[in-house]
Amino acid sequence: MSISTTLLVLKILAYYQSVDAAYEEVKHVAEAHVAEINQGMETYGPAYVKELVDAIVRENKDKNLYMGFQGDEGRSGNFSPWPKLNKKNASKWHEIYFRQNKGEQLLHLYVRQYHYQDGEQLLMGYDLKDVDYIRAAFVRILVENIILSFILSFLLSLLLVWLLNRYLQRVNVSFDHIMLGDLGYRMKVISPIDQFGVLATNFNRMLEWINALVNTAKDSGNALAHDLRTPLSRHRLELVALSQNSQMPSELRQQVVDAIERVDMLVEMFDNILTIAKAESRSATELFERVNLADIVRDIVDFYEPMFEDKKVTIVKTLPDEDISILGDEQLLRQAVMNVIDNAAKYVPYKGTIDIVLSKNNHQVTLVIVDNGPGIPPHMIDKAKDRFFRADESRNTKGVGLGLSLVNAVAMLHRGVLELSNNDPGLKVCLTLNC
């Protein structure tokens, strides 16, 4: 745009220089004739000048030149009739519009009137049709240049937008890889000099740093969970063997059984941590296969049926007859659905109600599970997907606070969303997955 503006300014300057040069040329031609006429006036008088003006007009090949002389001897030249001039401007060069005779073309003249001692008048004029042509051509060229500049600017803008969109698409592809857990993905650096190249380089350096930190944290946490799980399992076996001692007092046996339950809770917690780590690492995407989500939901509902019967819970199922197939990890999906239903079964009151709805819309599958239990306080619902979150701050309810965190990790692995909302009373869990 700046180049087009510069060229436009240069053309305007060239136009004014051309017009000024044309006016100066007119003055130069006219003043040369005036000098000749003045010399004739001084030497031979008005009669001679009258004849001289006619001779100049007759012999001059420049049809744009107009001359007129009038005095006591009469009038000569090619002005017919004599133009009426403004007395203020008559003695200096100025522009007038003049028609020689009725029906003839209107002339645009550049004129000046000269006065002599005995009252004679000399009128010099020049037709400005060439200057008018320059002006008209300039206006036309100016409009054409403005239109051309607009078109070029528009095309350059489209090119710039296309280049930006192309680069942003590469950035979005990088984000997609990162969201899928591929922290080893790197943006291609086309040119390390321009700002896009600098951005890609810094982006790749940031990914390397984040990847190192994430791997360190994951490896440490997973190693800790794995290393603790093995001795805990061994201690559980020892406690089970101890509880089977027939000579143990009943009170002590109950304490051992309680200890076994606490160990089971710790083992379950470490299992969940390892499962969440597997989901968050996105390594499971390499093993994705077609899974019938409807069958998974039916199996898990059937598994919890005895618990629902004991609490006299009413189950309202809305499941499609046809298969709902999605691409995913069956083990993780089964664990996620089980956690959601287990969460509802755990908190639904006696003779409560649980609604389970599975539906498919375009390229998305939605599982909605609603209970009428105590729900989650509004100020805590945003934290419900965090690790080790417990709505029961007294920690009297069974669980370690990893259930919904695991479901959220599985949803993100499958490029889905886990949404929680209050049912007043109860909790509404909406799990949306891409097919």
Q: Using omega within 30 degrees of 0 as the cis cutoff, is the peptide bond preceding 425 cis?
A: yes
Which ranges constitute the DSSP H helices of 284-399?
A: 293-303, 305-310, 330-347
* The pLDDT of residue 67: 92
- Span 229-268, pLDDT tens digits: 778 778 788 888 887 877 778 888 888 888 888 777 777 7
430 pLDDT higher than 90: yes
Do 426 and 292 share a structural domain?
Answer: yes
DSSP 8-state class, residue 283: G
Looking at the fold, whether 347 and 406 belong to one and the same domain comes out as yes
- Rounded CA-CA distance 410/433 in Å is 10
- Comparing 279 with 129, the larger pLDDT belongs to 129
Contact between 49 and 69 under an 8 Å Cβ cutoff? The reply is yes
Residues 429 and 389 occupy one common structural domain: yes
Query: Tell me: the pLDDT tens digits for 302-333?
Result: 998 888 888 898 888 888 888 888 888 888 89
Residue 158 resides in a domain: no
Domain-ending residue, one of 133, 168, 185: 133
> Is residue 165 one of the residues assigned to a domain?
no
Buried b (16+ CB within 10 A) or exposed e, 262-286: ebeebbebbebbebbbbbbbbebbe
Specify whether 275 is located in the same domain as 292.
no
Question: What are the pLDDT digits (tens) for 74-100?
Answer: 889 988 888 888 888 788 888 888 888
pLDDT at 39 over 50: yes
Strands 94-98 and 353-361: unpaired
User: Is 272 inside a domain boundary?
Assistant: yes
CB 25 within 8 A of CB 17: no
CATH number for the domain that contains residue 88: 3.30.450.20
Residues 269 and 294 in one domain: no
Whether pLDDT at 19 is above 60:
yes
* Residue 49 located in a structural domain: yes
pLDDT on residue 112: 92
Answer yes or no: do 290 and 428 share one domain.
yes
- 109 plus 234 within the same structural domain: no
190 domain-assigned: no
Let me know if residue 392 belongs to a domain: yes
Assign 432 a pLDDT band (cuts: 50, 70, 90): very high
Per-position DSSP letters for 94-125, written without gaps between them: EEEEE-SSTTSPPEEEEEEEEE-TTS-EEEEE
Judgement on whether residues 218 and 357 belong to the same structural domain of the protein: no
Choose one of 280, 309, 331: the last residue of a domain: 280
Instruction: Give yes or no: residues 304 and 421 share one domain.
Output: yes
Helix (H) or strand (E) segment spanning residue 229: helix 195-243
Please report, to the nearest 10 degrees, the dihedral formed by the alpha carbons of residues 293, 297, 302, 305 taken in order: 180
pTM over 0.75: no
Domain end: 280, 299, 333, which one?
280
Domain identity same for 248 and 302:
no
Query: Does residue 314 sit within a domain?
Result: yes
Q: Return the pLDDT at 278.
A: 65
Mean of pLDDT values over 330-348? 88
Q: Is residue 202 part of a domain?
A: no
Helix-, strand-, coil-residue percentages of the chain, each rounded to 5: 55, 15, 25
Q: Give the CATH number of the domain where residue 318 resides.
A: 3.30.565.10
The residue count of the chain comes to 435
**Residue of 271, 269, 318, 327 whose CA lies nearest to 297:** 318
Q: CATH code at 254? A: 1.20.58
Residues 168-225 pLDDT 10s: 888 888 888 777 667 778 888 877 777 888 888 888 888 888 878 777 766 776 676 6
pLDDT band at residue 395, thresholds of 50, 70 and 90? very low
Per-residue pLDDT at 283: 54
CA 358 to chain centre: 36
Over residues 121-169, the pLDDT tens digits come to 999 999 988 888 888 888 888 888 888 888 888 898 999 999 888 888 8
Range of the domain at 396: 286-434
Residues 301 and 327 in one domain: yes
